[in-house]
Amino acid sequence: MNENGPAKAVLQLNEVHTYYGRIHALKGISCRIPSGGIVCLIGANGAGKSTTLMTICGVQPAAKGEILFEGRPIHRMRPEQIASLGISQVPEGRQIFPLMTTLENLEMGAYLRKDRDGIKRDLEKVYSLFPVLKERRNQLGGTLSGGEQQMLAIARALMSRPRLLLLDEPSLGLAPLLVERIFDTIQEINRAGTPIFLVEQNAQMALSISGWGYVMETGRIVLADRARALLEDEQVKKAYLGE
């Protein structure tokens, strides 16, 4: 880490602007995600956090600025091209396939891959990470509990062998014990080598597992610092930590 943010970035946004029609959603944001760490983006509802992830994935194209993935510009690429490079997103609200089984959902995560043996090995890895998914492998996704669906959404993303994992509100709607389990798993995924960009309203939890954090307000990054420092910042405490 340095004073300008995490070094050796796997992903870098430089002065990115995004619009929804005439609505200026992202107003020149810049941030960096290191190749080996967890970075979180916190802020209130409507601040532009999810839009940031959608812009990285190409779903909501950047109007200005540049996005670099492993040094390569991706801001003019289509979403499927970006996904093929190794960026995988777990969207807000999980968005699993409710009429497919758990196993079929996981197989969809590997749809760009051709290495059948590798897919089998990775399937066993996600089952070891989330044993309940193995138990529920023949159950329809839509019949899983909220926590199980969140586990499935993360596991499905991991089946693509991501070089960068984007997580959008993974704790949304979950009971406290499940939130702790999900955040423990996020750390485990990161320790195994996957860099993570985490968007999360639970600022306390997000900052506690991240190395670096950004605070967003109305489409702008207003604070950027080591996560530990943000946890002690008076402005962050009052606005996001309920202190």
| Interval 204-225: pLDDT, tens | 999 999 999 999 999 999 999 9
Q: Which residue has the tokens 């709607």?
A: 173
Mean pLDDT of the 109-130 span: 92
Q: Is 139's pLDDT higher than 50?
A: yes
| Interval 33-71: pLDDT, tens | 999 899 999 999 899 999 999 999 999 999 999 999 999
pLDDT of res. 92: 86
For 143-161, letters b (16+ CB in 10 Å) and e give: ebeebbbbbbbbbbbbbbb
Q: What percent of the chain has pLDDT over 70?
A: 97
Q: If we measure between CA atoms, which residue out of 243, 238, 170 comes closest to residue 205?
A: 170
Q: What is the overall mean pLDDT for the chain?
A: 93
H helices of the chain, in order, are 49-56, 79-85, 102-109, 116-129, 131-135, 146-158, 176-191, 203-209, 227-232, 234-240
Say how far apart CA 108 and CA 104 lie, in whole Å.
6
Q: Kindly indicate the confidence band of residue 7, based on its pLDDT and cuts at 50, 70 and 90.
A: low
The pTM of the full predicted model, rounded to 2 decimals, is: 0.91
What does the chain come to in residues? 243
Mean pLDDT of the 176-198 span: 93
Superfamily of domain 1-86+163-174+192-243: P-loop containing nucleotide triphosphate hydrolases (3.40.50.300)
Helix (H, G, I), strand (E, B) or coil at 185: helix
DSSP state of 142: G
The CATH 3.40.50.300 domain(s) of the chain lie at 1-86+163-174+192-243
Mean pLDDT of the 153-177 span: 93
Q: Is 110's pLDDT higher than 70?
A: yes
Neighbour count for residue 125 (Cβ, 10 Å): 15
Say how far apart CA 133 and CA 112 lie, in whole Å.
22
